[in-house]
Amino acid sequence: MPGATKVTDRTIRNALAGLYPKEIWYFISSFIFLLSVVHLLASPASSKRGTTSLRRIPAAVVNAWRIIAFRSTLQIGKSYSICLADMFVIFVYILVLFVWALVNTTDLEGVKFDWTFYSNRAGTLAASQFPLITVLGTKNNVLTLLTGISYEKMNNLHRMSARVLLVLLWLHAGSKLVMPKGIDADQVGTFWLNIGYASVFAFSLLALVSIRPVRAVAYEFFFYMHFALAFVVLLGGVYHTANFNYSHYVWPSFLVWGLDRFIRLLRVIIYAVSPHLTRAKSTTDQTTEVSARADMLSPDLVRLRVPRPPGFSWSPGQLSYIIVPSISRLPFEAHPFSIASIHDAELETESHSAEKGKEHWSDIVFLISARKGFTRRLADKLSQKGESTMKVLLDGPYGSSPDLDSSDTVVLIAGGTGISYTLPLLLSLAKKGRCRRVHFIWSVRDSNHLRWVSPTIVKALSLAPTSMSISISIYVTASSIIDLPKHSNFANIDLNSMPAESTESLNTGHGTSLTLEKTATGVDLFDLRAVQVLFTRPKFDKLIHSEMEGADGHTSVCVCGSQGIARAVRSSVRVNPFAGPNSILKGAPSVTLHVESFGYA
C-alpha cells in the first residue's frame, strides 16, 4: 500500500516506549484518586461493649486491616523496619514498573525478551517517574493534601521508590554495557551518553548515602550529599533524555523542587520579618521578644524557646524545621524537630509571666537531644553559659496532627525526647476536655528531667474537667536513682498514697480538675494522686490492654520513641478483632494507632 509506514522492531519499540509511561501514570493517578476518596470518607467509628453483633463486622474488618497493614512490620537488620502497608505499595509499584518494562518484548523474528525492547523502555519508564519521586520528597506537596498522608511517611515512599527506579536505570544502562553491540561505535564518547552514565552513577552513590545507618550517624553529610547528587541526577537526566525527546518527563522535577523551596523560603522570610513589623506598628508594646532562648536541661538535652511569630500556627504533634545561623554551617541547613508546646491564645492570655512551664503554651518549644553535628554544636555552645539567646529561623509547621476529638480513651506513650510529641497532645486533650480517659506514659532514663516537665504536667491536670480521668505514669529506667526533684525516697512508689487533702479531685479513677490558684501556690507533680513514678521499664502490653479493656468507645494510641518502643506498642495493639476479650464483635473499642518517627534520621 503506497505511503504505508513499514513496521520494524524499531518502530514498535519507539511506539511502546512512548505509550507505556502514560499507562503507568494512568494507574498511579487512579491509585491516588482511590486514596483521596478513602481519606475523604474516613471517619472513626464509636462502639459500646456488649454481646456479639453482626453490625460490628465492618468495624472488625477495618481493625483487622489496620493490624495487618500498619501494626505488622518486617524487621530488616537492627536499624530498619517496614510495615506491611508500605511493603504492599512498593511491591505493587515494582510489579507495575517491571511488568510494563518486560511485557511485549518479543521481536518480529520471535525472539522473546529482546534486550533492545526492555533496555530502552526501562530508561523511559524510569525517566517518567522522576517527578513522582521528587514530589514524594518535598515538604509541600499536593499528595499530602489529597490523601492525608503526612510528608514524613511520603518521605519513606520517596526513598523506597527511588531505589526501585535505580534498579530500573541499571537495567537500562547495564544492558547497554554487557550486551553485544549495546553501544554503537559512533555513540562512544558522546555527551548525552556520558552524562547519562554520570547520572546513573550519581544515583547509585545517592542510594548508598541515603541508607538509615548513614543518616543516623552522619545526617549533615547525607544532607549535603543528597542535595548535590540529586542535582547531578536530574540535570544529567534532562540532557540525556533530550537526545530522545523525553526530557519533558524529567525537567518538571526542577519545577516541583523549586516550588517547594520557594514556599519554604517564603515562610522563613515571613516568620523572620513579621515580629519586627508587629513591634514597629505597636504603640503600646515595644518589648516583644524576637530572639530565641536556649538552655541546657541536661548535658545532652537542649530546650529551645522561640517566640511565636505572628501568623505561625500549629497543631499538637506537628514539627518545624529550624535554621540557627550562628550554629548552621550553610544558610539553607535546616533541621526538623517536633514542637513540644501548643498554640492556644486563651492560655497565652491568661498566663502570668512568672508561671512555671508557661513556654509550653506561649512559645514554640523544641527539645533537642545533643548527638552529633548541629545538635552537638548547639549543646557545646551552651555548655559553658548554660543559657543563651540566638536568632532562629522557622520553616513549618509540617506533619499531621492525630485526630483525637472523637476518642473515648487516649493512651500517650513517649520514650525520652519523644515527649516532644505527646506532651502537647496531653495539654490539648486536657484543654478541650472531650475524651473520657487519658493515660500519659513516659519512659525516661534520667530522673532529673522531671524537674522541667513537672509544671507542664501539673498545668495539664489543672485544665482537665472533672469528667476527664487522667493518669500520669513516669518510668525512670536508669540503673541508678539520682537527685529526684523535691523527694529523695521514690523507688517504685505509687503516688496515690499522697495525702488526699493536697490532691482533692486529682484521682486516677475520677476527675482530675485542679484550680489554677492551687497550682500557682506550689503544687508539686509528686503531690498529685494522678501521678506515679516507677523505677523500672514499662510493660506496654499490660498498660495498653488495661486501657482497652476499660474503654467504652474509640481508643487512640499515640507513640513516639525508639524503634524498640514502637515495635512493642505495635505488638500490644495487635489483638484479634473477631475473638477474645478485646473483640470488636463484642463491642470492644476500635483502636487507632499513631506512630511518630523518632528523630529525623
Mean residue pLDDT of the chain comes to 79
C-alpha cell at 11: 518502530
pLDDT of residue 289: 54
Q: pLDDT at residue 246 above 60?
A: yes
57-92 pLDDT, tens digit per residue, is 555 555 565 655 555 666 666 666 777 778 888 899
Assigned architecture for domain 409-596: 3-Layer(aba) Sandwich (3.40)
Q: pLDDT at residue 212 above 60?
A: yes
pLDDT of residue 282: 54
Under the banding of pLDDT at 50, 70 and 90, the label for residue 514 is very low
User: Rounded distance, CA 240 to CA 254, Å?
Assistant: 15
Q: Where in the chain is the domain with CATH 2.40.30.10?
A: 292-398
pLDDT of residue 351: 63
User: Rounded distance, CA 116 to CA 120, Å?
Assistant: 6
- Looking at the chain, the whole-number percentage of residues with pLDDT higher than 90 is 32
Ranges 219-228, 288-297, 519-528, 571-580: which has the least confidence: 519-528
C-alpha cell at 571: 505488638
User: If DSSP codes are grouped into helix, strand and coil, which group holds residue 469?
Assistant: strand
Q: Is the Cα torsion angle 139, 144, 149, 155 positive or negative in sign?
A: negative
> Mean of the pLDDT values across residues 264-281?
82
Nearest to 439 by CA among 311, 563, 572: 572
CB atoms within 10 A of CB 187: 12
Query: Which element (helix H / strand E) includes 293?
Result: strand 292-298
Q: Is the Cα torsion angle 148, 151, 156, 161 positive or negative in sign?
A: positive
Q: pLDDT at residue 244 above 60?
A: yes
Q: pLDDT at residue 161 above 80?
A: yes
- β-strands 301-307, 555-560 pairing: unpaired
Superfamily, domain 292-398: Translation factors (2.40.30.10)
H helices present in 42-129, as ranges? 57-70, 84-102, 115-128
Q: pLDDT at residue 494 above 70?
A: no
Under the banding of pLDDT at 50, 70 and 90, the label for residue 383 is confident
Nearest to 20 by CA among 127, 111, 112: 127
Under the banding of pLDDT at 50, 70 and 90, the label for residue 478 is confident
Phi-psi region of 471 (alpha: psi -120 to 50; beta: other; left: phi over 0): beta
Under the banding of pLDDT at 50, 70 and 90, the label for residue 208 is very high
Answer with the residue of higher pLDDT: 83 or 323: 323
- Looking at the chain, the whole-number percentage of residues with pLDDT higher than 70 is 76
Q: pLDDT at residue 277 above 50?
A: yes
292-302 pLDDT, tens digit per residue, is 899 888 888 89
> Mean of the pLDDT values across residues 213-228?
87
User: Rounded distance, CA 555 to CA 409, Å?
Assistant: 5
8-66 pLDDT, tens digit per residue, is 878 887 888 889 999 999 999 999 999 888 878 765 544 444 444 545 555 555 556 56
Cβ atoms of 303 and 366 within 8 Å: the answer is yes
pLDDT of residue 232: 95
User: Rounded distance, CA 83 to CA 597, Å?
Assistant: 13
> Mean of the pLDDT values across residues 536-558?
88
Instruction: For the domain made up of 9-43+80-258, give the CATH fold.
Output: Four Helix Bundle (Hemerythrin (Met), subunit A) (1.20.120)
Answer with the residue of higher pLDDT: 109 or 269: 269
Ranges 16-30, 73-87, 447-461, 576-590: which has the least confidence: 576-590
User: Rounded distance, CA 592 to CA 595, Å?
Assistant: 10
Q: Where in the chain is the domain with CATH 1.20.120?
A: 9-43+80-258
Ranges 391-405, 428-442, 445-459, 584-598: which has the least confidence: 584-598
